[in-house]
Structure 1
Amino acid sequence: MAPLVPRLHLFEIDDQTWFPSFLRARVQAALTATWTTQVPILQSTSPARLAARLLSSNLGTTVRDYVFIDFCAGGGGPTPEIEKHLNQVIKSTRSSSTSATCNDPVANGTTSTASYAAAPPNRPVRFVLTDLHPHVDDWKKAASASPNLSYIPDSVNAAHAPADLVGSYKAEGTKVFRLFNLAFHHFDDPLAKAILKNTLETSDGFGIFELQERSLIKGFIPVLLFGFGILLIAPYYAIKWRSPATLFFTYVIPILPFVLVFDGWISALRTRTPEEVEALLRKCGVEGGQEEVIKWEVRSGRASFMGPVGHLNWIICVKREG
Protein backbone atom coordinates (compact mmCIF):
# COMPACT_ATOMS: atom_id res chain seq x y z
CA MET A 1 0.00 0.00 0.00
CA ALA A 2 1.35 3.42 -0.95
CA PRO A 3 2.38 5.71 1.93
CA LEU A 4 -0.16 8.33 2.97
CA VAL A 5 2.53 11.02 2.76
CA PRO A 6 3.79 11.88 -0.75
CA ARG A 7 7.53 11.88 -1.34
CA LEU A 8 8.99 15.32 -0.55
CA HIS A 9 12.51 16.13 -1.69
CA LEU A 10 13.41 18.49 1.15
CA PHE A 11 16.90 19.46 2.31
CA GLU A 12 19.00 17.68 4.92
CA ILE A 13 21.33 19.73 7.10
CA ASP A 14 24.22 17.30 6.68
CA ASP A 15 24.14 17.87 2.89
CA GLN A 16 24.60 21.63 3.11
CA THR A 17 27.97 23.19 2.29
CA TRP A 18 27.66 25.56 5.25
CA PHE A 19 27.44 22.70 7.76
CA PRO A 20 30.87 22.44 9.48
CA SER A 21 32.93 19.53 8.17
CA PHE A 22 33.99 18.36 11.65
CA LEU A 23 30.34 18.06 12.67
CA ARG A 24 29.50 16.32 9.40
CA ALA A 25 32.21 13.76 10.16
CA ARG A 26 30.62 13.03 13.55
CA VAL A 27 27.14 12.72 12.00
CA GLN A 28 28.42 10.28 9.38
CA ALA A 29 30.31 8.33 12.04
CA ALA A 30 27.10 8.05 14.09
CA LEU A 31 25.22 6.73 11.04
CA THR A 32 27.98 4.21 10.38
CA ALA A 33 27.76 3.08 14.01
CA THR A 34 24.01 2.61 13.55
CA TRP A 35 24.71 0.29 10.62
CA THR A 36 27.42 -1.75 12.30
CA THR A 37 26.38 -1.95 15.96
CA GLN A 38 24.38 -4.81 17.44
CA VAL A 39 23.02 -3.93 20.87
CA PRO A 40 22.68 -7.11 22.97
CA ILE A 41 19.10 -8.15 23.78
CA LEU A 42 17.61 -5.22 21.84
CA GLN A 43 18.91 -6.22 18.39
CA SER A 44 18.88 -9.62 16.72
CA THR A 45 21.63 -8.50 14.34
CA SER A 46 23.22 -5.37 12.90
CA PRO A 47 21.82 -3.75 9.73
CA ALA A 48 25.15 -4.33 7.93
CA ARG A 49 25.12 -8.04 8.72
CA LEU A 50 21.48 -8.18 7.63
CA ALA A 51 22.35 -6.52 4.29
CA ALA A 52 25.08 -9.13 3.74
CA ARG A 53 22.62 -11.95 4.39
CA LEU A 54 20.11 -10.42 1.98
CA LEU A 55 22.71 -10.19 -0.78
CA SER A 56 23.73 -13.78 -0.11
CA SER A 57 20.20 -15.19 -0.06
CA ASN A 58 18.99 -13.26 -3.10
CA LEU A 59 22.04 -13.78 -5.33
CA GLY A 60 22.75 -17.36 -4.24
CA THR A 61 25.79 -18.96 -5.87
CA THR A 62 26.08 -16.08 -8.34
CA VAL A 63 27.11 -13.73 -5.53
CA ARG A 64 30.74 -14.63 -6.24
CA ASP A 65 30.35 -13.57 -9.87
CA TYR A 66 30.06 -9.91 -8.84
CA VAL A 67 32.25 -7.08 -7.69
CA PHE A 68 30.25 -4.76 -5.41
CA ILE A 69 30.87 -1.07 -6.03
CA ASP A 70 29.53 1.42 -3.48
CA PHE A 71 28.87 4.57 -5.51
CA CYS A 72 28.00 6.73 -2.48
CA ALA A 73 30.42 5.44 0.14
CA GLY A 74 30.88 8.68 2.07
CA GLY A 75 33.29 7.97 4.90
CA GLY A 76 32.97 4.23 4.27
CA GLY A 77 29.56 3.62 5.78
CA PRO A 78 28.48 0.01 6.25
CA THR A 79 30.26 -1.38 3.16
CA PRO A 80 33.42 -2.59 4.99
CA GLU A 81 31.20 -4.50 7.44
CA ILE A 82 28.99 -5.84 4.63
CA GLU A 83 32.13 -7.10 2.89
CA LYS A 84 33.35 -8.85 6.03
CA HIS A 85 30.03 -10.49 6.81
CA LEU A 86 29.25 -11.50 3.22
CA ASN A 87 32.60 -13.21 2.80
CA GLN A 88 32.09 -14.94 6.15
CA VAL A 89 28.71 -16.22 4.93
CA ILE A 90 30.24 -17.46 1.69
CA LYS A 91 33.14 -19.14 3.47
CA SER A 92 30.97 -20.87 6.06
CA THR A 93 28.44 -22.01 3.45
CA ARG A 94 31.13 -23.27 1.11
CA SER A 95 32.62 -25.38 3.89
CA SER A 96 29.27 -27.00 4.64
CA SER A 97 28.10 -30.15 2.89
CA THR A 98 27.15 -29.97 -0.77
CA SER A 99 23.57 -30.72 0.16
CA ALA A 100 23.28 -27.56 2.27
CA THR A 101 21.07 -24.88 0.82
CA CYS A 102 21.13 -21.12 0.99
CA ASN A 103 17.65 -20.48 2.38
CA ASP A 104 17.43 -17.34 4.51
CA PRO A 105 14.17 -16.20 6.12
CA VAL A 106 15.24 -12.56 6.05
CA ALA A 107 14.70 -12.57 2.30
CA ASN A 108 10.94 -12.55 3.01
CA GLY A 109 10.17 -15.54 0.85
CA THR A 110 12.91 -15.04 -1.74
CA THR A 111 15.36 -17.91 -1.35
CA SER A 112 18.02 -19.75 -3.25
CA THR A 113 18.51 -23.49 -2.98
CA ALA A 114 21.87 -23.53 -4.76
CA SER A 115 24.88 -24.72 -2.79
CA TYR A 116 28.06 -22.71 -2.54
CA ALA A 117 29.95 -25.96 -1.99
CA ALA A 118 28.94 -27.04 -5.49
CA ALA A 119 30.33 -23.88 -7.06
CA PRO A 120 33.84 -23.85 -8.52
CA PRO A 121 36.58 -22.43 -6.28
CA ASN A 122 36.85 -18.68 -6.47
CA ARG A 123 38.41 -15.81 -4.60
CA PRO A 124 36.40 -13.89 -1.98
CA VAL A 125 33.92 -11.29 -3.12
CA ARG A 126 35.49 -7.90 -3.72
CA PHE A 127 34.09 -4.50 -2.72
CA VAL A 128 35.08 -1.04 -4.00
CA LEU A 129 34.44 2.33 -2.32
CA THR A 130 33.72 5.36 -4.53
CA ASP A 131 32.01 8.71 -4.13
CA LEU A 132 31.55 12.04 -5.85
CA HIS A 133 33.51 13.48 -2.91
CA PRO A 134 36.17 10.85 -2.00
CA HIS A 135 37.11 10.24 1.63
CA VAL A 136 40.52 8.80 0.83
CA ASP A 137 41.94 8.82 4.37
CA ASP A 138 38.91 6.96 5.76
CA TRP A 139 38.89 4.50 2.85
CA LYS A 140 42.60 3.83 3.10
CA LYS A 141 42.18 2.87 6.76
CA ALA A 142 39.21 0.60 5.96
CA ALA A 143 41.00 -1.03 3.00
CA SER A 144 44.05 -1.77 5.11
CA ALA A 145 41.90 -4.07 7.26
CA SER A 146 40.77 -6.30 4.38
CA PRO A 147 42.40 -7.48 1.14
CA ASN A 148 38.91 -7.69 -0.38
CA LEU A 149 38.19 -3.97 -0.01
CA SER A 150 39.63 -1.28 -2.28
CA TYR A 151 38.76 2.28 -3.27
CA ILE A 152 38.94 4.77 -6.13
CA PRO A 153 40.71 7.95 -4.96
CA ASP A 154 39.25 10.09 -7.76
CA SER A 155 35.77 11.58 -7.88
CA VAL A 156 33.21 9.15 -9.32
CA ASN A 157 29.82 10.33 -10.58
CA ALA A 158 27.21 7.57 -10.20
CA ALA A 159 25.31 8.98 -13.18
CA HIS A 160 28.40 8.77 -15.40
CA ALA A 161 30.47 5.86 -14.12
CA PRO A 162 33.94 5.86 -15.68
CA ALA A 163 34.13 3.32 -18.50
CA ASP A 164 37.46 2.02 -17.24
CA LEU A 165 36.00 1.41 -13.76
CA VAL A 166 33.23 -0.94 -14.84
CA GLY A 167 35.01 -2.06 -18.00
CA SER A 168 38.06 -3.38 -16.18
CA TYR A 169 35.93 -5.83 -14.21
CA LYS A 170 33.80 -6.87 -17.16
CA ALA A 171 36.99 -7.55 -19.14
CA GLU A 172 37.96 -10.20 -16.59
CA GLY A 173 34.50 -11.77 -16.66
CA THR A 174 33.25 -10.21 -13.42
CA LYS A 175 29.76 -8.73 -13.12
CA VAL A 176 29.27 -5.27 -11.61
CA PHE A 177 26.79 -4.78 -8.75
CA ARG A 178 26.15 -1.25 -7.51
CA LEU A 179 25.40 -0.49 -3.86
CA PHE A 180 23.43 2.48 -2.54
CA ASN A 181 23.49 2.30 1.26
CA LEU A 182 21.33 4.98 2.89
CA ALA A 183 21.97 7.02 -0.25
CA PHE A 184 19.33 6.66 -2.97
CA HIS A 185 16.86 8.93 -1.18
CA HIS A 186 19.34 11.80 -1.60
CA PHE A 187 18.76 11.92 -5.37
CA ASP A 188 15.93 13.97 -6.87
CA ASP A 189 13.97 12.33 -9.69
CA PRO A 190 16.08 13.60 -12.63
CA LEU A 191 19.33 12.54 -10.96
CA ALA A 192 17.85 9.22 -9.81
CA LYS A 193 16.73 8.45 -13.36
CA ALA A 194 20.17 9.36 -14.74
CA ILE A 195 21.84 7.07 -12.19
CA LEU A 196 19.44 4.21 -12.95
CA LYS A 197 19.96 4.71 -16.70
CA ASN A 198 23.73 4.49 -16.29
CA THR A 199 23.34 1.50 -13.98
CA LEU A 200 21.16 -0.47 -16.40
CA GLU A 201 23.49 0.30 -19.30
CA THR A 202 26.79 -0.52 -17.58
CA SER A 203 26.10 -2.86 -14.64
CA ASP A 204 24.54 -6.25 -13.90
CA GLY A 205 22.75 -5.53 -10.64
CA PHE A 206 22.16 -2.97 -7.92
CA GLY A 207 20.98 -2.85 -4.33
CA ILE A 208 19.25 -0.05 -2.44
CA PHE A 209 19.30 -0.33 1.36
CA GLU A 210 17.53 2.22 3.57
CA LEU A 211 17.05 2.35 7.35
CA GLN A 212 13.93 4.54 7.12
CA GLU A 213 10.67 4.71 5.19
CA ARG A 214 7.74 7.08 4.66
CA SER A 215 5.69 5.84 7.58
CA LEU A 216 4.80 7.24 10.99
CA ILE A 217 5.23 3.96 12.85
CA LYS A 218 8.17 2.51 10.91
CA GLY A 219 9.70 5.79 9.78
CA PHE A 220 9.30 8.72 12.16
CA ILE A 221 9.10 6.98 15.53
CA PRO A 222 12.30 4.91 15.05
CA VAL A 223 14.20 8.09 14.15
CA LEU A 224 13.00 9.74 17.37
CA LEU A 225 14.10 6.71 19.38
CA PHE A 226 17.44 6.87 17.58
CA GLY A 227 17.85 10.43 18.86
CA PHE A 228 17.34 9.30 22.44
CA GLY A 229 19.80 6.49 21.81
CA ILE A 230 22.44 9.01 20.76
CA LEU A 231 22.12 10.67 24.16
CA LEU A 232 22.82 7.34 25.84
CA ILE A 233 25.79 6.15 23.76
CA ALA A 234 27.55 9.47 23.14
CA PRO A 235 30.02 8.97 26.04
CA TYR A 236 31.11 5.60 24.64
CA TYR A 237 31.83 7.02 21.19
CA ALA A 238 33.43 10.16 22.60
CA ILE A 239 36.00 7.87 24.24
CA LYS A 240 36.30 5.63 21.18
CA TRP A 241 36.80 8.58 18.83
CA ARG A 242 38.91 10.48 21.40
CA SER A 243 36.58 13.40 20.82
CA PRO A 244 35.49 15.56 23.78
CA ALA A 245 33.73 17.74 21.20
CA THR A 246 31.26 14.89 20.70
CA LEU A 247 30.09 15.33 24.29
CA PHE A 248 29.97 19.11 23.97
CA PHE A 249 27.84 19.04 20.80
CA THR A 250 25.59 16.33 22.22
CA TYR A 251 24.80 17.66 25.71
CA VAL A 252 25.87 21.32 25.97
CA ILE A 253 24.88 22.47 22.48
CA PRO A 254 22.90 19.45 21.19
CA ILE A 255 23.63 19.95 17.51
CA LEU A 256 24.45 16.29 16.80
CA PRO A 257 21.20 14.72 18.13
CA PHE A 258 19.16 17.50 16.52
CA VAL A 259 20.76 17.05 13.09
CA LEU A 260 20.55 13.26 13.26
CA VAL A 261 16.83 13.35 14.14
CA PHE A 262 15.93 16.20 11.76
CA ASP A 263 17.81 14.65 8.84
CA GLY A 264 16.37 11.25 9.72
CA TRP A 265 12.83 12.59 9.41
CA ILE A 266 13.66 14.35 6.14
CA SER A 267 15.27 11.14 4.87
CA ALA A 268 12.02 9.31 5.63
CA LEU A 269 10.06 11.88 3.59
CA ARG A 270 12.55 11.47 0.72
CA THR A 271 12.56 7.68 0.69
CA ARG A 272 10.97 5.94 -2.28
CA THR A 273 8.88 2.80 -2.18
CA PRO A 274 9.93 -0.16 -4.39
CA GLU A 275 7.02 0.70 -6.70
CA GLU A 276 8.34 4.26 -7.09
CA VAL A 277 11.82 2.97 -7.90
CA GLU A 278 10.34 0.62 -10.52
CA ALA A 279 8.45 3.57 -12.01
CA LEU A 280 11.74 5.48 -12.32
CA LEU A 281 13.30 2.44 -14.00
CA ARG A 282 10.61 2.52 -16.67
CA LYS A 283 11.14 6.26 -17.20
CA CYS A 284 14.94 6.38 -17.06
CA GLY A 285 15.35 6.45 -20.85
CA VAL A 286 17.72 3.52 -21.05
CA GLU A 287 18.95 2.60 -24.52
CA GLY A 288 16.66 -0.13 -25.82
CA GLY A 289 13.65 1.31 -24.00
CA GLN A 290 11.10 -0.85 -22.24
CA GLU A 291 12.49 -4.04 -23.78
CA GLU A 292 15.78 -3.43 -21.99
CA VAL A 293 14.06 -2.66 -18.66
CA ILE A 294 12.08 -5.93 -18.61
CA LYS A 295 15.36 -7.84 -18.76
CA TRP A 296 15.80 -6.89 -15.10
CA GLU A 297 14.21 -8.56 -12.09
CA VAL A 298 13.27 -6.43 -9.09
CA ARG A 299 12.98 -7.91 -5.60
CA SER A 300 12.24 -5.95 -2.43
CA GLY A 301 11.21 -6.34 1.16
CA ARG A 302 11.57 -5.24 4.76
CA ALA A 303 13.75 -7.16 7.22
CA SER A 304 13.81 -6.61 10.98
CA PHE A 305 16.96 -6.11 13.03
CA MET A 306 15.36 -4.63 16.16
CA GLY A 307 11.89 -5.68 17.27
CA PRO A 308 8.94 -3.79 15.78
CA VAL A 309 10.75 -0.51 15.07
CA GLY A 310 14.11 -1.34 13.48
CA HIS A 311 13.84 -2.42 9.84
CA LEU A 312 16.09 -2.54 6.81
CA ASN A 313 14.17 -1.71 3.64
CA TRP A 314 15.79 -3.24 0.58
CA ILE A 315 15.53 -3.40 -3.19
CA ILE A 316 17.73 -5.79 -5.13
CA CYS A 317 17.61 -5.66 -8.92
CA VAL A 318 19.55 -8.02 -11.21
CA LYS A 319 19.68 -8.80 -14.90
CA ARG A 320 17.68 -11.85 -15.83
CA GLU A 321 19.73 -14.78 -17.02
CA GLY A 322 19.50 -15.66 -20.71
Structure 2
Amino acid sequence: MRRMFFFEIHDQSWFPVNLRNLVTDGLQSFWRLSNSYKPIVPRLRDALANAGTKVVLDLCSGGGGPWFQLVRDFEKENCKISVCLTDMYPNQQAFEKAASGSSLIDFDSRPVSAIEVPPDIPGFRTIFSSFHHFSPDDAQSILSSAVESGKGIAIFETARRNLKIMSIVCCLPFLILLLTPWIRPFRWSRLVLTYIIPIVPFVLWFDGLMSCLRSYSHQELSEMVGNLTDKSYYWQVGTQDDGFLPVTFLIGYPTTKAMLSSV
Protein backbone atom coordinates (compact mmCIF):
# COMPACT_ATOMS: atom_id res chain seq x y z
CA MET A 1 0.00 0.00 0.00
CA ARG A 2 1.56 3.28 -1.12
CA ARG A 3 1.55 6.46 0.95
CA MET A 4 -1.39 8.68 0.00
CA PHE A 5 -1.54 12.47 -0.01
CA PHE A 6 -4.74 13.02 1.95
CA PHE A 7 -5.42 15.73 4.52
CA GLU A 8 -6.47 15.56 8.16
CA ILE A 9 -9.28 17.79 9.34
CA HIS A 10 -7.76 19.03 12.59
CA ASP A 11 -4.56 20.06 10.74
CA GLN A 12 -6.38 22.64 8.66
CA SER A 13 -6.06 26.33 9.49
CA TRP A 14 -9.82 26.77 8.94
CA PHE A 15 -10.69 24.20 11.61
CA PRO A 16 -11.94 26.10 14.72
CA VAL A 17 -9.42 26.28 17.54
CA ASN A 18 -11.92 25.13 20.17
CA LEU A 19 -12.80 22.06 18.12
CA ARG A 20 -9.13 21.31 17.50
CA ASN A 21 -8.48 21.43 21.23
CA LEU A 22 -11.33 18.98 21.88
CA VAL A 23 -9.83 16.58 19.34
CA THR A 24 -6.31 16.82 20.76
CA ASP A 25 -7.74 16.39 24.28
CA GLY A 26 -9.36 13.17 23.07
CA LEU A 27 -6.09 11.92 21.63
CA GLN A 28 -4.34 12.84 24.87
CA SER A 29 -6.80 10.72 26.87
CA PHE A 30 -6.03 7.78 24.58
CA TRP A 31 -2.26 8.18 25.08
CA ARG A 32 -2.71 8.22 28.83
CA LEU A 33 -4.87 5.10 28.80
CA SER A 34 -2.80 3.03 26.38
CA ASN A 35 0.70 4.31 27.19
CA SER A 36 1.53 3.09 23.68
CA TYR A 37 4.95 4.72 23.64
CA LYS A 38 6.29 3.27 26.89
CA PRO A 39 8.38 0.59 25.08
CA ILE A 40 10.49 3.26 23.34
CA VAL A 41 11.74 4.76 26.64
CA PRO A 42 15.03 2.76 26.78
CA ARG A 43 15.74 3.53 23.12
CA LEU A 44 15.10 7.26 23.55
CA ARG A 45 17.02 7.30 26.85
CA ASP A 46 20.07 5.87 25.07
CA ALA A 47 19.72 8.38 22.22
CA LEU A 48 19.63 11.28 24.69
CA ALA A 49 22.69 9.91 26.48
CA ASN A 50 24.58 9.56 23.20
CA ALA A 51 23.58 13.10 22.24
CA GLY A 52 24.80 14.34 25.63
CA THR A 53 21.57 15.98 26.79
CA LYS A 54 18.59 15.48 29.07
CA VAL A 55 16.58 18.31 27.56
CA VAL A 56 13.77 17.39 25.14
CA LEU A 57 12.02 19.74 22.75
CA ASP A 58 8.76 18.11 21.73
CA LEU A 59 7.34 19.36 18.44
CA CYS A 60 3.72 19.02 17.27
CA SER A 61 2.70 18.26 20.86
CA GLY A 62 -1.06 18.64 20.33
CA GLY A 63 -2.66 18.11 23.74
CA GLY A 64 0.66 17.13 25.30
CA GLY A 65 1.09 13.81 23.55
CA PRO A 66 2.40 10.89 25.62
CA TRP A 67 4.78 12.96 27.74
CA PHE A 68 2.72 13.16 30.93
CA GLN A 69 3.25 9.41 31.39
CA LEU A 70 6.63 9.15 29.65
CA VAL A 71 8.42 11.47 32.10
CA ARG A 72 7.33 9.10 34.87
CA ASP A 73 8.55 6.11 32.87
CA PHE A 74 11.90 7.84 32.42
CA GLU A 75 12.15 8.39 36.17
CA LYS A 76 11.55 4.66 36.71
CA GLU A 77 14.55 4.12 34.41
CA ASN A 78 16.60 6.40 36.73
CA CYS A 79 16.74 9.05 34.04
CA LYS A 80 15.41 12.49 34.88
CA ILE A 81 14.72 14.65 31.83
CA SER A 82 13.01 17.96 31.12
CA VAL A 83 10.50 18.40 28.31
CA CYS A 84 9.28 21.52 26.53
CA LEU A 85 5.97 21.10 24.66
CA THR A 86 5.37 23.10 21.47
CA ASP A 87 2.92 23.15 18.59
CA MET A 88 2.03 25.21 15.56
CA TYR A 89 -1.46 25.52 17.10
CA PRO A 90 -0.67 25.36 20.83
CA ASN A 91 -3.38 23.98 23.09
CA GLN A 92 -2.68 26.38 25.95
CA GLN A 93 -4.96 24.77 28.52
CA ALA A 94 -3.65 21.27 27.79
CA PHE A 95 -0.06 22.48 28.03
CA GLU A 96 -0.76 24.21 31.35
CA LYS A 97 -2.41 21.05 32.66
CA ALA A 98 0.57 18.91 31.65
CA ALA A 99 3.02 21.38 33.21
CA SER A 100 1.02 21.57 36.45
CA GLY A 101 1.09 17.77 36.69
CA SER A 102 4.87 17.47 36.48
CA SER A 103 7.76 19.77 37.32
CA LEU A 104 9.65 18.12 34.46
CA ILE A 105 7.27 19.44 31.78
CA ASP A 106 7.21 23.01 30.51
CA PHE A 107 5.86 24.57 27.32
CA ASP A 108 6.32 27.41 24.86
CA SER A 109 3.05 29.19 24.14
CA ARG A 110 4.23 30.59 20.79
CA PRO A 111 3.23 28.89 17.53
CA VAL A 112 6.28 26.74 16.77
CA SER A 113 6.84 25.17 13.36
CA ALA A 114 8.65 21.84 13.26
CA ILE A 115 10.28 23.01 10.03
CA GLU A 116 11.58 26.33 11.40
CA VAL A 117 12.26 25.82 15.09
CA PRO A 118 13.19 29.07 16.88
CA PRO A 119 16.90 28.96 17.73
CA ASP A 120 16.23 30.06 21.31
CA ILE A 121 14.46 26.77 22.17
CA PRO A 122 17.11 24.14 22.98
CA GLY A 123 16.79 20.39 23.23
CA PHE A 124 16.77 17.00 21.53
CA ARG A 125 13.78 17.16 19.19
CA THR A 126 10.95 14.62 19.33
CA ILE A 127 7.82 14.18 17.25
CA PHE A 128 5.11 11.73 18.31
CA SER A 129 2.34 10.63 15.94
CA SER A 130 2.68 13.74 13.77
CA PHE A 131 5.46 13.21 11.24
CA HIS A 132 2.98 11.80 8.71
CA HIS A 133 1.22 15.19 8.69
CA PHE A 134 4.06 16.59 6.62
CA SER A 135 4.64 16.21 2.90
CA PRO A 136 7.85 14.41 1.87
CA ASP A 137 9.55 17.75 1.16
CA ASP A 138 8.52 19.22 4.52
CA ALA A 139 9.43 16.01 6.35
CA GLN A 140 12.86 16.17 4.73
CA SER A 141 13.15 19.81 5.84
CA ILE A 142 12.40 18.83 9.45
CA LEU A 143 15.30 16.37 9.42
CA SER A 144 17.57 18.86 7.65
CA SER A 145 16.71 21.56 10.20
CA ALA A 146 17.72 19.30 13.08
CA VAL A 147 20.98 18.36 11.38
CA GLU A 148 21.84 21.96 10.47
CA SER A 149 21.21 22.96 14.09
CA GLY A 150 23.32 20.07 15.40
CA LYS A 151 20.35 18.66 17.34
CA GLY A 152 19.31 15.08 17.85
CA ILE A 153 15.86 14.11 16.61
CA ALA A 154 13.56 11.17 17.28
CA ILE A 155 10.33 10.46 15.41
CA PHE A 156 7.80 7.91 16.64
CA GLU A 157 4.61 6.79 14.91
CA THR A 158 1.95 4.19 15.72
CA ALA A 159 0.03 4.84 12.48
CA ARG A 160 0.78 2.32 9.74
CA ARG A 161 -0.46 1.47 6.29
CA ASN A 162 -1.87 -1.94 7.14
CA LEU A 163 -5.36 -3.29 7.78
CA LYS A 164 -4.69 -4.41 11.37
CA ILE A 165 -3.71 -0.94 12.58
CA MET A 166 -6.45 0.72 10.54
CA SER A 167 -9.01 -1.62 12.13
CA ILE A 168 -7.79 -0.62 15.60
CA VAL A 169 -8.07 3.05 14.63
CA CYS A 170 -11.73 2.49 13.73
CA CYS A 171 -12.35 1.59 17.38
CA LEU A 172 -10.99 4.91 18.64
CA PRO A 173 -14.30 6.86 18.36
CA PHE A 174 -16.05 4.25 20.53
CA LEU A 175 -13.26 4.47 23.10
CA ILE A 176 -13.59 8.27 23.16
CA LEU A 177 -17.31 7.89 23.90
CA LEU A 178 -16.31 6.02 27.06
CA LEU A 179 -13.46 8.36 28.05
CA THR A 180 -15.09 11.74 27.43
CA PRO A 181 -16.86 12.13 30.83
CA TRP A 182 -13.47 11.86 32.57
CA ILE A 183 -11.55 14.29 30.36
CA ARG A 184 -10.61 17.46 32.19
CA PRO A 185 -11.21 20.35 32.21
CA PHE A 186 -14.94 19.64 32.05
CA ARG A 187 -16.69 21.41 29.19
CA TRP A 188 -20.31 21.25 28.15
CA SER A 189 -19.16 21.77 24.56
CA ARG A 190 -17.16 18.54 24.82
CA LEU A 191 -20.29 16.60 25.74
CA VAL A 192 -22.42 18.27 23.07
CA LEU A 193 -19.85 17.78 20.29
CA THR A 194 -19.19 14.18 21.31
CA TYR A 195 -22.63 12.76 22.08
CA ILE A 196 -25.25 15.03 20.52
CA ILE A 197 -23.40 16.30 17.45
CA PRO A 198 -20.57 13.71 17.21
CA ILE A 199 -18.01 15.92 15.50
CA VAL A 200 -15.14 14.91 17.79
CA PRO A 201 -15.55 11.13 17.28
CA PHE A 202 -15.92 11.65 13.53
CA VAL A 203 -12.77 13.76 13.26
CA LEU A 204 -10.82 11.23 15.35
CA TRP A 205 -12.02 8.39 13.09
CA PHE A 206 -11.39 10.24 9.82
CA ASP A 207 -8.02 11.69 10.84
CA GLY A 208 -6.95 8.35 12.32
CA LEU A 209 -7.52 6.56 9.03
CA MET A 210 -5.83 9.35 7.09
CA SER A 211 -2.88 9.13 9.50
CA CYS A 212 -2.43 5.47 8.58
CA LEU A 213 -2.65 6.15 4.84
CA ARG A 214 -0.19 9.06 5.13
CA SER A 215 2.34 7.30 7.34
CA TYR A 216 5.92 6.72 6.14
CA SER A 217 7.43 3.25 5.73
CA HIS A 218 10.90 2.19 6.85
CA GLN A 219 12.13 2.48 3.29
CA GLU A 220 10.76 6.00 2.86
CA LEU A 221 12.32 7.13 6.15
CA SER A 222 15.66 5.58 5.16
CA GLU A 223 15.54 7.40 1.83
CA MET A 224 15.02 10.73 3.63
CA VAL A 225 18.06 10.05 5.78
CA GLY A 226 20.05 9.07 2.70
CA ASN A 227 19.24 12.42 1.09
CA LEU A 228 20.91 14.36 3.90
CA THR A 229 24.27 15.79 2.89
CA ASP A 230 25.71 15.86 6.42
CA LYS A 231 27.03 12.35 7.10
CA SER A 232 28.17 13.01 10.66
CA TYR A 233 24.93 11.65 12.17
CA TYR A 234 24.08 8.18 13.43
CA TRP A 235 20.61 7.10 12.28
CA GLN A 236 18.31 4.28 13.30
CA VAL A 237 15.14 3.25 11.49
CA GLY A 238 13.00 0.42 12.78
CA THR A 239 10.00 -0.84 14.72
CA GLN A 240 9.48 -1.30 18.44
CA ASP A 241 6.84 -4.02 18.55
CA ASP A 242 6.62 -5.10 22.20
CA GLY A 243 3.85 -2.71 23.28
CA PHE A 244 0.13 -2.11 22.80
CA LEU A 245 0.82 -0.96 19.23
CA PRO A 246 3.97 -1.34 17.11
CA VAL A 247 5.94 1.91 16.98
CA THR A 248 7.84 2.97 13.88
CA PHE A 249 10.86 5.08 14.80
CA LEU A 250 13.53 7.22 13.19
CA ILE A 251 16.28 8.40 15.54
CA GLY A 252 19.32 10.50 14.68
CA TYR A 253 22.03 12.35 16.58
CA PRO A 254 25.50 13.72 15.80
CA THR A 255 28.36 11.29 16.21
CA THR A 256 31.85 10.71 14.89
CA LYS A 257 30.79 7.18 13.90
CA ALA A 258 28.06 7.97 11.42
CA MET A 259 25.99 5.15 9.97
CA LEU A 260 22.43 4.03 9.24
CA SER A 261 21.03 1.14 11.26
CA SER A 262 17.79 -0.71 10.60
CA VAL A 263 16.08 -2.57 13.43
Per-residue deviation at 1:321?
A: 4.3
Return the letter of the residue paired with 2:250: I
Give a deviation string over 1:17-69, Cα, whole Å, max 9, x none.
Answer: 3323222211101111111114xxxxxxx22433434423x438547733111
Give a deviation string over 1:115-141, Cα, whole Å, max 9, x none.
Answer: xxxxxxxxx322112223333443233
Q: CA separation in 1, counterparts of 2:33 and 2:52?
A: 26
Match among 83, 86, 104 for residue 148 of structure 1? 104
Aligned to 1:303: 241
Contact 1:52 1:83 in 2 (8 A): no
Q: CA separation in 2, counterparts of 1:193 and 1:90?
A: 34
Q: CA separation in 1, counterparts of 2:121 and 2:179?
A: 39
Return the letter of the residue paired with 1:246: R
> So what's the TM-score if we normalise by structure 1?
0.71
Aligned to 1:59: 47
The verdict on how the C-alpha distance between 1:190 and 1:183 changes in structure 2, with shifts beyond 3 A counting, is same
Aligned to 1:315: 250
Give a deviation string over 1:287-320, Cα, whole Å, max 9, x none.
Answer: xx2xx236322142132433xxx33332222333
Match among 23, 27, 33 for residue 19 of structure 2? 23
Contact 2:143 2:153 in 1 (8 A): no
Contact 2:124 2:151 in 1 (8 A): yes
Q: Does 1:233 align with 2:179?
A: yes
Contact 1:193 1:280 in 2 (8 A): yes
Return the letter of the residue paired with 1:155: P
The verdict on how the C-alpha distance between 1:33 and 1:249 changes in structure 2, with shifts beyond 3 A counting, is same
Return the letter of the residue paired with 1:141: K
Give a deviation string over 1:248-277, Cα, whole Å, max 9, x none.
Answer: 323322222111111100010110012211
Contact 1:197 1:281 in 2 (8 A): no
- Cα RMSD (Å): 2.4
Aligned to 2:260: none
The verdict on how the C-alpha distance between 1:214 and 1:137 changes in structure 2, with shifts beyond 3 A counting, is same
| SS of corresponding position for 2:102 | coil
Number of residue equivalences: 257
The aligned runs of 1:115-126 (5 Å cut-off) are: 124-126=80-82
> So what's the TM-score if we normalise by structure 2?
0.86
Return the letter of the residue paired with 1:55: L
Q: CA separation in 2, counterparts of 1:154 and 1:236?
A: 28
Q: Does 1:223 align with 2:169?
A: yes
